[in-house]
Amino acid sequence: MKRTVVLCFVAGLALIGCGQDTPPSGGRPGGSKAHLVEVVQVEPTRVALERSRSGTLRHLREVEIHTQEAGQITELPWYPGDRVEAGQLLVKLDDRLLRSEYNRARASLREAQQNLARLRELAANRLVSREELLRRETEAEVASADLELLQTRLSYTEIVAPFAGVITARMSEPGNVAERYDHLLTLADPEVLVVDVSLSELILAQLKQGDSVAVTIDALGFDPKPALVSRIYPQVDPVTRRGTLEIRLDPVPEGARAGQFVRVQLQTAARERLLVPFSALRFDTASFLYIVNEAGEVVRREVVTGSRLADRIEILDGLVSGERVVTRGFLGLVPGQQVEVVSLAPDQESGSDEQ
């Protein structure tokens, strides 16, 4: 009986020893576990970038009408909202004093010209000196210049519209005495309304003058209005790396006015881009991604990023098509580490604009 118990005990110890030599299920020899990661295989995706920006409508042409001559205002018939034609009289100043000076200068010129003509007849017979003739010629030239000056000042007493437009501001009244350079009216062209929007330099490089865009004016409803890129400003802010785009309504819808709030929808031409999930991008001194190579090892790769589209970001440099980018499993991950891929899918989802 005792011998039987001893044999059973020895057999049990042998079984326990054999169990300790067997690696745990799902592990590697020696008890170490594989580092599990999820990856996405990057493929070129043909997408167009969409951007939404808000802004305020403004007149492309708006001028302030100032006086260039002092005088009492005798005519100022226009009020805000009135439409005027190009060349139509806007303001008239009292010109009686200047006109009297003009008439006097004209008489002085006539006298100088008569004296000069008589002296030239005498000079032909050598009855006057050449110095006297030159003096009379100079007097006639000065009288002509004085008349021209007064004629110009007289023209400043009548101010006409430089272009067809609408009066947006009235700053004085008839009877008031206007000093030189006083602001009397503001004239704007309501047929051309624009909005300025700020965009990243990456987007500006993909747009050109004449591109079609859509503009929504909240005050007129939510139907998009046609517009186009009328100007791309040549400079980019060196700090923000953003530039300015001018959008012009084409045509101007009824009810649109300067100062209204608008939303601009822009879309670039579609082209192939390498996109990765934004969550895959890592940061320290530079932006980088973790790549799983063919040997199953992790490689740290610095990249140059471009535009962001929803939950994805464009990679401009540092990544090639077909590479596997780690999207999950970053905890404890180091370059050169052997990993086991548990999920692999091509990055072909389309994204919408976020910036």
Distances (CA, A) of 117 to 42, 122, 124, 148: 94, 9, 11, 21
| pLDDT-based confidence at residue 215 (cuts at 50, 70, 90) | very high
pLDDT tops 70 at residue 272: yes
Q: Residue with structure tokens 């050598």?
A: 126
> Average pLDDT in the 221-241 region?
93
Q: Tell me the domains of the chain and their CATH numbers.
A: 35-46+272-346 (2.40.420.20), 51-60+192-269 (2.40.30.170), 71-93+157-189 (2.40.50.100), 95-156 (1.10.287.470)
pLDDT > 60? residue 328: yes
* Helix count and strand count (H, E) for the chain: 4, 26
30 phi and psi angles, rounded to 5 deg: 95, -5
Specify whether the CB–CB gap between 301 and 318 falls below 8 A. Answer: yes
Mean pLDDT over 317-322 rounds to: 91
CA distance 165 to 148: 31
Residue 2 above 50 pLDDT? no
Q: Give the model's pLDDT for residue 101.
A: 95
* Rg value, the chain, Cα: 42
20-49: average pLDDT: 69
Q: What's the pLDDT band for 127 if we cut at 50, 70, 90?
A: confident
Residues 167, 15: Cα–Cα separation, whole Å = 103
- With a cut of 90, say whether residue 4 has pLDDT above it: no
Residues 6+ apart with CB under 8 A from 311: 277, 278, 279, 351, 354
Q: State the pLDDT at residue 100.
A: 95
Pick the most confident of 34-48, 148-162, 308-322: 148-162
> Residue for token digits 């330099």?
201
CA angle 172/174/175 to nearest 5° reads 110
CB 328 within 8 A of CB 40: no
Phi, psi of 28 (to 5 degrees): -115, 160
Distance between CA 145 and CA 156 in Å, rounded?
17
Sheet holding 83-84, edge to edge: 62-66, 183-188, 165-170, 83-84
Q: Transcribe 272-309 into DSSP letters.
A: EE-EEEGGG-EESSSEEEEEE-TTSBEEEEE-EEEEEE
> What's the confidence (pLDDT) of residue 117?
86
| C-alpha pair distances (Å), 8 with each of 19, 62, 174, 321 | 17, 107, 125, 64
Cα gap 183→170, rounded to integer Å? 9
Instruction: Give the H or E element holding residue 135.
Output: helix 130-155
pLDDT of residue 50: 83
For residue 347, the model assigns a pLDDT of 55
Chain mean pLDDT for the chain: 86
Residue 3, SS3 per DSSP: helix
Q: What is the pLDDT of residues 70-88, one digit of tens each?
A: 999 999 999 999 999 999 9
* 21 compared with 245, residue with greater pLDDT: 245
Q: Which of 184-188, 279-283, 328-332 shows the highest mean pLDDT? A: 184-188
Ramachandran region, residue 255 (left: φ > 0; alpha: ψ -120 to 50; beta: rest): left
